[in-house]
Amino acid sequence: MLIDRVIVGSMYTNAYIVSTGKKDCILIDPGAESSTIVSRLEAMNLVPKAVVFTHGHIDHTSATKKLVDYYAERGHHVPVGIHEGDKIFLSADGGRANRDLFSSFGDAGVAALESFEDEPVEPEFYFEDGKNLLDTDLVVMHTPGHSPGSSCIYSEPRQALFSGDTLFFNTIGRTDLPSGDDEELRRVVSECIFELPPDTRVFPGHGPITSIEREIKNNRMDSEGSTI
């Protein structure tokens, strides 16, 4: 039950390789640096059976097209999945949606956006709250607030939660952006995420790994200092 983190891109996004068999895995949030991710996968002798996103913002998705094309050239079809609430970011309007998001943070946001590759890839499947991802032990938790389709991915046997930009070490995700909802985000963190077993490890979209127990005790439940 291997979990490996690869930190990529100008916003130091955490991409996760989650083994699901001897030679396959689920790849979560490949935000940038496709060659770095491929090198890690090949060193581990793993091929992704799917790429999934905790949400659709470009700092979590931009390496996907090159990854999918790389494996297609080698005879491996890698489907892409996301919650339907964030499908706009992977559509023909995805570039505009990301520009609206990042430009709301001024010059720094525009500079960050321009550091990513804008090659959207169409999703082949959509998440359902409470359902397993494909035939794995990974279960979807729809946790809107940072974005309408934000989702955490939980594995009870691994005692692991991939929280995307919903929950971080000491903070929660930003909601001062288009379609953000502060009240909803606080609700899902307190009523859903904090109800998980305390020893659950939390693997966030940016920053250090933490635990449910630690965040219940210490999280300020605000987004000060959080990444876009």
- pLDDT tens-place string over residues 51-93: 999 999 999 999 999 999 999 999 999 999 999 999 999 998 8
Residue 225: predicted pLDDT: 72
C-alpha dist (Å) from residue 163 to 56, 94, 140, 146, 209: 13, 22, 10, 11, 10
Rounded CA separation 132/200 (Å): 18
Q: For 91-125, what is each residue's pLDDT tens digit? A: 988 999 999 999 988 998 999 999 998 888 999 99
Is residue 228 one of the residues assigned to a domain? no
Rounded CA separation 203/165 (Å): 10
Residue 92: predicted pLDDT: 87
Tell how strand 3-8 and strand 210-211 pair up.
unpaired
Range of the domain at 51: 3-129+137-218
Is residue 106 one of the residues assigned to a domain? yes
Residue 188: predicted pLDDT: 98
Is residue 60 one of the residues assigned to a domain? yes
Mean pLDDT of 170-185: 94
Rounded CA separation 178/128 (Å): 23
CATH of the domain at 161: 3.60.15.10
Q: Is the pTM of this model over 0.95?
A: yes
pLDDT band, residue 197 (cuts 50/70/90): very high
| Tally of structural domains, the chain | 1
Is residue 30 one of the residues assigned to a domain? yes
pLDDT at 37 over 90: yes
Rounded CA separation 119/62 (Å): 7
Is residue 24 one of the residues assigned to a domain? yes
Is residue 223 one of the residues assigned to a domain? no
Is residue 211 one of the residues assigned to a domain? yes
Mean per-residue pLDDT over the chain, rounded? 96
Is residue 227 one of the residues assigned to a domain? no
End-to-end Cα spacing for the chain: 30
